[in-house]
Chains A and B, each alone.
Chain A
Amino acid sequence: MDLAYTAEEQAFREEVRVFLDEKVSDELRAKARGEASLSKQDMEDWHATLNEKGWLAQNWPKKFGGAEWNAVQRHIFEEEAAMANAPRIIPFGLAMLAPVLQKFGSKEQQDHYLPRILSGEDWWCQGYSEPGAGSDLASLKTKAVRDGDHYVVNGQKTWTTLGQHANWIFCLVRTDSDVKQQEGISFLLIDMDTPGIEVRPIILLDGTHEVNEVFFDDVRVPVENLVGEENKGWTYAKYLLTHERTNIAGVGFSQAGLDTVKRMARAEMSGGRPLIENPHFMARVAQVEIDLMAMSTTNLRIVSQAAAGSAPGVEASMLKVKGTIIRQEINDLARRAAGPYAMPFASEAIEGDNDPIGPDYATAVSPHYFNNRKLSIFGGSNEIQRGIIAKVKMGG
């Protein structure tokens, strides 16, 4: 047992810190904290900045132009990036599609799509969930029927994150309805400019446009856009899920969030004293911090196993559940800390056209509190995660 990072790891952390300090502007930090919204351009610029340094494709093998960081390095970067309020890396192309292409894609697909993900030429979104297929993803109904050199796709995807910016979508589609649900699914790459595709915004409860519905009406997709084999899509999707799960615990986000809560508690006054001296509020903060300290170590235990080559299994589900509970609790603390200034809905202030209504730190606390209810819903809801844990651990 040794809780310390190695000298190399510490040097790496220092390098990351210096880089972030130089590259993340104050404006970008404020936006990433939620005091204003990140534009598509902001996100693309941040990708370009990382790509220039060779730090964009962190988990890709070197032969595909990646940094080939191990799990500890990725963890260090994620922690530092969250603490620095750097914009997050948009995962759809880089962390979700790319590992699938690298493992199951054809040489042509790898040569064509991977460089375009790095350069930012393509923005990918994910076509998984459907109105009737959420937690029960395998029941998806969007259909792809072979017609000569094409598949003809009909159906609807939903909760498509940042689909409004995307020019490509990777989809799970049903190619065989006569077999067990999981065995009739294929993995298709679809150009969003193809006739028959319509993207409609879904406005979330905090007023943001983050997710979309995507409709497919006789959309013709060339057969060479099939990844791997027909009807093997479920296998690829499951592989993708194991790779999606870096940073699943969101330790860095929680640490940054807790810092913000303490900053707020120092500034807010209650009964003539700073809120940070209020025992009831601070008991809540302490409780979360204690949970976070333990989870952070759980996370490192799993990260170092992964660095040694073992794939995270049920532990990832545990981290997802505990990590989201902690993040949501911190969102709740921030909302409480803001007092009456949690009530304004200052969309113009969030858009950056106006001064904040109360203290700057209060602007986004309530929208974030509500928006981050999604953390325990998406990417396999916490109920689904608990089901997985029970199933694996009880050996049922």
Chain B
Amino acid sequence: MALDPATVRRIAKLARIRVSDEEVARLQTELSGILGWIEQLNEVDVSGVAPLAGISHQRLPMREDEVTDGGRPDAILANAPARADHFFTVPKVVE
């Protein structure tokens, strides 16, 4: 399946990655190539097959709903590219 430029831009928007016009053209070719190759899966009859999301050898474990970690704001904020006191900062989002 060949992707059109508008679809490439829409996916890039959903993925929050800026792409230039030049890159859109290249990505169109690359992504269409990958998706075209993937289309071989359409030849397999999968009717009646239950989907498998992952390999789990056991039931997911349950535990008490209690705090097990936390209270370390300085360690967590140490990697923040921008911060003010114990907060991460971003451009203004509410007028």
Q: Do A and B bind each other?
A: no
